[in-house]
Structure 1
Amino acid sequence: MTDALSRTDEPRAPSIVWITNPDNYDPRRHLLLQKEGSDRVNLFERNGLPVRVVHSGDLVPAWSGGAPRLYLDEEDLLDGGHAFLLSDWTWDAGIGRHVQAITRTIRAAGRVLLNDGIRDAESLGSDKLAMCHTAAALGIPVPPTVAVPFGRYARRVLTVVDRELGPGPYVVKPRAMAMGFGVLKTEGPEQLTAAVDLLAPAALGAVVQPFQENDGDVRVYVHRGKAVAVMLRRPKAGSYLANVSEGGSGASFEGDDRVRTLSERLAAGVDADYLCVDWLLTRGGPVFNEWMTVSAAYEDLPEPDRSRVAAALVTYVRDRIAAGS
């Protein structure tokens, strides 16, 4: 994914500054993931959108000289007329706080932050509980979702889960992660208790949802209010994660039109010109899972959907840069 890129030293011309967190990955996995990130860089650069890639750890956010600053060594990246793309999910609380400082500094400077593009990006950009609240208010089918309290209070979630979700099985996942990281299926209360005990010291924040039998999940790509492609993702044999990055497979999807209509409603509801919405295909119909903005992968789509989504992504980025917001 996007975090897999290595730092580059490009000329100081205005560009997309892609701020990554390679510390999210084991270095060996990091190497395997570089290709997809490089494909995205090549897409932008072929379309006249030069990219600089920098490591979040190399940046120092500040207020100095009467303005926000974002220093890369001696250079203030906010001086260059750049747009920014920030990989903002992480399993590390320290990195998360630093990324938050970078995000707020870019916003304070009035620069284009491409992975915002959504109403209330601070809470809706990655928080799965906030997504469920918002989607449900728009009439979207969402799963029952219970947030886990912190530290020594974490087990208080168990009574609520038993009452609201039943005896299991359950899915436990971090509230603000991606790519299937930390998603755990637990069969019943004992396993759920152990999962909560292990998660609580990590300070990630987690949610519990019922595990729903499904035929895979679909990702709908919405641009300018219209679904432009739908990808069906299925887990590999014996697995419960459909993420392609975790061994699942992707293919074009021509089925249930409800996922298209519901995805378009969501995009309009959160004021997103470009939104990628994931759904579980359950026996009762599609159920909302989560959404992403420009960081969502499209490279596993077959043609012509792949080219259609790539064109939509480039158009979206150009529009945001041209608008300056």
Structure 2
Amino acid sequence: MNDNLAEPSVPPKLVWITTPDNYDPHLQERLRRKGSERVDTLRAAGFDVRIAHSCDIVPVWNGSPRLLWEKEDLLAEYAGFLVTSWSWDPAIIRHIEAITRTIRASDCVLLTDGTRDPEVLGLDKLAMYHHAAAQGVPVPPTVSVPFGRYARRALEAVRTELPAGPYVVKPRSMAMGFGVLKADTSQHLSSTIDLLTPGGLGCLIQPHVPNDGDVRVYVHEGKVIAALLREPAGKSYLANVSRGGSGSGYEPPADVVESSERLARSLESDYLCVDWLLTGDGHVFNEWMTVSAAYEDLPEPDRRRVADALVQYIRGRLDEGARRPL
């Protein structure tokens, strides 16, 4: 048994590691003033939630894995960790990798590891497409852009492998619509590649498919429990609510329900949020996320159902981790 398991009377500990450098400082100040509904929900469920910034954490090995935060080792007591693991800055990503790998080496639980092989299938959209296609799920044709001075070699692959433009260019490992660009012509595409590749994130090119938005399907313990339709505003091409889109409840068709549940089973994930593009040819897989995915724009009672499922999932992961032998 894990000796760090708290007594039943002590609230279970959660540490949420965020990266404020991902956001404009003014947004960070608004979040500080207004708080976070997600954090409030977890605290109301009885968790002792703490917020730490990744820039303030130093991963260490000294007889055991340690995460030094000011004068404290965050791994000294048994806890669950939620880590915002994406960033536009490759140097930040490398630091976050050091944090998550240190947590995995400890007796604590990395709650954002919600899939089989999270190092590969947690954020990398190209890996997601390969995996989803192997499960018989429809995915968009995709070209991955080589690095540096070789990046333009992707243009020939686009000409032979993708339909004529427009195109969508997106980072391989990002979230919330960051860095997603629409290129209407081959010249636009070439210039977009020229601008993106020096950043070192790696990017993908796909055909821009006219769509009525996207659908996020929430799967808990193998069953779809809710779905959110996100629609772009006006002539926008991004449906993310954080980018001006709107959210509403949605009843997914049977094939999307079955495919979402099949993906969750294949990933050994008890809590998975699967995003689908809503196109004229049906639903096409876009990406998945685990506990970091937003649910706050769902209408009631779906919103409460998903929040309760998230709390149940976190409790289950903490209980499972506590039962692991040392």
Give the TM-score normalised by the residue count of structure 2. Answer: 0.93
Query: Relative to structure 1, is the Cα distance of residues 38 and 197 closer, same or farther in structure 2, using a 3 angstrom cutoff?
Result: same
Matched residue SS, 1:91? coil
Query: Which residue number in structure 2 is paired with residue 59 of structure 1?
Result: 57
The answer to whether 1:125 aligns with 2:129 is no
Tell me how far 1:284 sits from its aligned partner: 1.1
Query: Which residue number in structure 1 is paired with residue 41 of structure 2?
Result: 43
CA contact (8 A) 2:12 2:47 kept: no
Partners of 2:192 and 2:214 in 1: how far apart?
24
Superposed CA deviations along residues 89-121 of structure 1, whole A, max 9, x for unmatched, are 000111110000001101111320000021000
Matched residue SS, 1:185? strand
Partners of 1:185 and 1:274 in 2: how far apart?
31
**Larger RCO, structure (CA 8 Å, separation 6 or more):** 2
Superposed CA deviations along residues 148-193 of structure 1, whole A, max 9, x for unmatched, are 1111111111100111003211100000000000000111211000
Partners of 2:34 and 2:302 in 1: how far apart?
17
Map 1:79-94 to 2 at 5 A. 79-94=76-91
CA contact (8 A) 1:13 1:80 kept: no
Matched residue SS, 1:78? coil
Query: Which residue number in structure 2 is paired with residue 3 of structure 1?
Result: none
Partners of 1:321 and 1:147 in 2: how far apart?
37
Query: Which residue number in structure 2 is paired with residue 187 of structure 1?
Result: 184
CA contact (8 A) 2:212 2:232 kept: no
Tell me how far 1:238 sits from its aligned partner: 1.5
* Structure 1 residue ranges (4+ consecutive) displaced by more than 4 angstroms after TM superposition: 32-37
Q: Which amino acid in the other structure matches residue 53 of structure 2?
A: H
Once structures 1 and 2 are overlaid, which stretch shifts more, 287-296 or 147-156? 147-156
Query: Which residue number in structure 1 is paired with residue 74 of structure 2?
Result: 77
Query: Which residue number in structure 2 is paired with residue 20 of structure 1?
Result: 18
**Aligned pair partner of 1:159 in 141, 156, 161:** 156
Query: Relative to structure 1, is the Cα distance of residues 48 and 13 closer, same or farther in structure 2, using a 3 angstrom cutoff?
Result: closer
**Aligned pair partner of 1:286 in 278, 283, 288:** 283
Map 1:1-325 to 2 at 5 A. 15-33=13-31, 38-64=36-62, 66-324=63-321
Matched residue SS, 1:181? coil
Partners of 2:35 and 2:170 in 1: how far apart?
25
Matched residue SS, 1:230? strand
Query: Relative to structure 1, is the Cα distance of residues 283 and 37 closer, same or farther in structure 2, using a 3 angstrom cutoff?
Result: farther
Matched residue SS, 1:85? strand
CA contact (8 A) 1:78 1:109 kept: yes
Give the CA RMSD over aligned residues.
Answer: 1.5
Partners of 2:134 and 2:195 in 1: how far apart?
32
Partners of 1:37 and 1:136 in 2: how far apart?
39
Matched residue SS, 1:236? coil
Query: Relative to structure 1, is the Cα distance of residues 233 and 33 closer, same or farther in structure 2, using a 3 angstrom cutoff?
Result: farther
Partners of 1:160 and 1:29 in 2: how far apart?
39
Superposed CA deviations along residues 262-287 of structure 1, whole A, max 9, x for unmatched, are 11111001000000000001111110
Partners of 1:49 and 1:242 in 2: how far apart?
32
CA contact (8 A) 2:12 2:46 kept: no
Superposed CA deviations along residues 183-238 of structure 1, whole A, max 9, x for unmatched, are 00111211000000000111011001111111211000000000000110100002
Query: Relative to structure 1, is the Cα distance of residues 225 and 13 closer, same or farther in structure 2, using a 3 angstrom cutoff?
Result: closer
Partners of 1:259 and 1:245 in 2: how far apart?
24
Partners of 1:290 and 1:78 in 2: how far apart?
31
CA contact (8 A) 2:214 2:230 kept: yes
Partners of 1:155 and 1:47 in 2: how far apart?
51
Partners of 2:114 and 2:250 in 1: how far apart?
26
Tell me how far 1:317 sits from its aligned partner: 0.5
CA contact (8 A) 2:58 2:67 kept: yes
**Structure 2: where are the runs of 5+ without partners?**
1-9
Matched residue SS, 2:94? helix
Matched residue SS, 2:151? helix
Tell me how far 1:123 sits from its aligned partner: 1.0
**Structure 1: where are the runs of 5+ without partners?**
1-11
CA contact (8 A) 2:273 2:288 kept: yes
Q: Which amino acid in the other structure matches residue 162 of structure 1?
A: R
Matched residue SS, 2:26? helix
Partners of 2:76 and 2:48 in 1: how far apart?
17
Query: Relative to structure 1, is the Cα distance of residues 140 and 70 closer, same or farther in structure 2, using a 3 angstrom cutoff?
Result: same
Q: Which amino acid in the other structure matches residue 298 of structure 1?
A: Y
Partners of 1:34 and 1:143 in 2: how far apart?
39
CA contact (8 A) 1:235 1:242 kept: yes
* Number of residue-to-residue matches in the alignment: 313
